[in-house]
Structure 1
Amino acid sequence: MPSGPHDASFVPALIVVDVQEDFCPPNGALAVPDGRRVVAPINALLRLPFALKVATKDFHPPSHVSFASNHTPPDNVPFASSVTIVNPLNASETCSSRLWPPHCVQGTPGADLLPDLDAAALDAVVEKGQDHRVEMYSAFADPFRAPCVAQSALEELLTQRGVTDVFVTGLAMDYCVRYTAEDAVERGWRTWVVEEATKAVDADKWDQVKQEMEAKGVRFASVDGEEVGRVKALAGKDKIA
């Protein structure tokens, strides 16, 4: 199990969520306002001595359930319509999901990480959203619990490295960053969202979403704040050792 807040150890990991072409202006199919502005602070974080640095990617098949084009009119308007998704392994479990334009389709340029992102500094890239039957905002798993349908290698990577604290960045704050952070808390990690390193789909709801995340145990940090400062301090400790 990950170490709890009482543990004096500090083994931080950086998760860079879905910094992909389709989530960024000017040509992204599901462009997050100012999405490209997350790259500079994320690259600054990638230069720090995190024990593990992982990027995630939406990597959808063309038939993905979240694509409005895969549903019947008139209830298939991107951004406006929602769909009830049934757990394909348990018909009694359902969830509601917003419909989107097709995005981050496997094999298309829109699924690529932004070229300005310092991908050479990453230890791993985790792909998600590959099961066309379920939505998967979280980089850990789909939202179903009885049973879970699809999960990534992220939890295993963090556990193997002995991570105690997770720092989440990327796109978008109110969707994939949010659910990745909340799932990290649920799995026992101290979890921080670095505010300068994320942007929201619905920026006017930032404060509301932040409060909801904090209520679930997610904490917020700054690039220049105390929490990231602890990561910076590890460089000095490595030199002493």
Structure 2
Amino acid sequence: MPPDMPFKPALIVVDMQNDFCPPDGSLAVPGGREIVPLINELLASPMFEVKVSTQDWHPSDHISFAANHTAPNNKPFESFIEMKNLVGNRPEQTMMQRLWPVHCVQGTRGAEIIDELDVSKVDVNVRKGMDARVEMYSAFSDSFGNMTEGAGGVDLDLASFLHARHITHVYVVGLAGDYCVKDTARGAAKAGFATYVIEDAQRCVDPDPAAWAEVKRVLQQDSVEVVHAQSNEVRRVLQPCGQL
């Protein structure tokens, strides 16, 4: 990175919620709580101009819940349905949607951010996935790329919010690396931010290293850089003066 390149970083902490964390989350991600110390260290850093948290905040009739589909062979994690782009008024546009256990239902304990996360350092919280008709892994857009506030059931136009604060770089951490972290990072890059995923500060639904290697390939293809906690990019935001 050129030394004279503008640097106003934001941190996005994705979906650190009870339902995504062991031991009793309905969609618990293996090792989900292990990343909290590093995320809290990042949240404590004064180098970030903005610190954002996100929450899945689903209605009980959300399209991604296997329990909401009557076919007897619809099983969480295993089954897929055809999802139409009803939010964007383009029902001819479809994609296959994986079905999940019921999780992060609005107003439930499972949807709350875990107690261990230092939310006192968070500047703004984004709730997403509130439209029952469409999946929304990314905090920037739903799965069809509908990006305006409200589309996919998001309560903040995050790209506009960050651009208004002249953010140049976005660091993404949280759960799960192979879904909401991945798609939020891709959304940040698409919105024009230099984007990093901190590998040590995420965990995946699928813990297979080969699956994570494929996620990294997709991220890099979409101009997202995957970095480690000891990398220069991360040390830069953890140094008190922002310098190596």
Q: TM-score, normalised by structure 1?
A: 0.92
Report the Cα distance in structure 2 between the residues aligned to 1:159 and 1:122, rounded to whole angstroms. 18
1:164 aligns with 2:168: yes
Task: State the 1:97 CA deviation.
Answer: 1.1
Task: Tell whether the 8 Å contact from 1:5 to 1:190 is kept in structure 2 after alignment.
Answer: no
1:192 aligns with 2:189: no
Residues 146-225 of structure 1 mapped to structure 2, 5 A cutoff: 149-150=151-152, 151-153=154-156, 154-204=158-208, 205-225=211-231
Report the Cα distance in structure 2 between the residues aligned to 1:100 and 1:192, rounded to whole angstroms. 27
**Correspondence for 1:114:** 114
Task: Tell whether the 8 Å contact from 1:93 to 1:146 is kept in structure 2 after alignment.
Answer: no
Report the Cα distance in structure 1 between the residues aligned to 2:177 and 2:242, rounded to whole angstroms. 32
The verdict on how the C-alpha distance between 1:190 and 1:124 changes in structure 2, with shifts beyond 3 A counting, is same
Task: Tell whether the 8 Å contact from 2:26 to 2:103 is kept in structure 1 after alignment.
Answer: yes
| Larger displacement relative to structure 2 (213-222 or 174-183) | 213-222
Task: State the 1:221 CA deviation.
Answer: 1.5
Q: TM-score, normalised by structure 2?
A: 0.91
**Correspondence for 1:140:** 140
Task: Tell whether the 8 Å contact from 2:141 to 2:147 is kept in structure 1 after alignment.
Answer: no
Helix, strand or coil for the counterpart of 1:115?
coil
Let me know the Cα RMSD of the aligned residues.
2.0
Higher helix share: 1
Helix, strand or coil for the counterpart of 1:203?
coil
**Correspondence for 2:22:** 25
The verdict on how the C-alpha distance between 1:146 and 1:120 changes in structure 2, with shifts beyond 3 A counting, is closer
Question: What residue identity is the alignment partner of 2:31?
Answer: D
Task: Tell whether the 8 Å contact from 1:9 to 1:164 is kept in structure 2 after alignment.
Answer: yes
Task: State the 1:152 CA deviation.
Answer: 4.5
Task: State the 1:181 CA deviation.
Answer: 0.5
Q: What percentage of aligned pairs have identical amino acids?
A: 47
For residue 50 of structure 2, the aligned residue among 38, 47, 52 is: 52
Task: State the 1:224 CA deviation.
Answer: 2.0
Structure 2 unaligned blocks of 5 or more: none
Task: Tell whether the 8 Å contact from 2:140 to 2:147 is kept in structure 1 after alignment.
Answer: no
Task: State the 1:7 CA deviation.
Answer: 6.9
Task: State the 1:100 CA deviation.
Answer: 0.2
Q: How many residues align?
A: 234
Helix, strand or coil for the counterpart of 1:25?
coil
Structure 1 unaligned blocks of 5 or more: none
Task: State the 1:173 CA deviation.
Answer: 0.3
**Correspondence for 2:85:** 87
Report the Cα distance in structure 1 between the residues aligned to 2:220 and 2:242, rounded to whole angstroms. 31
Report the Cα distance in structure 1 between the residues aligned to 2:182 and 2:34, rounded to whole angstroms. 18
Question: What residue identity is the alignment partner of 1:71?
Answer: H
Question: What residue identity is the alignment partner of 1:31?
Answer: A
**Correspondence for 1:66:** 64
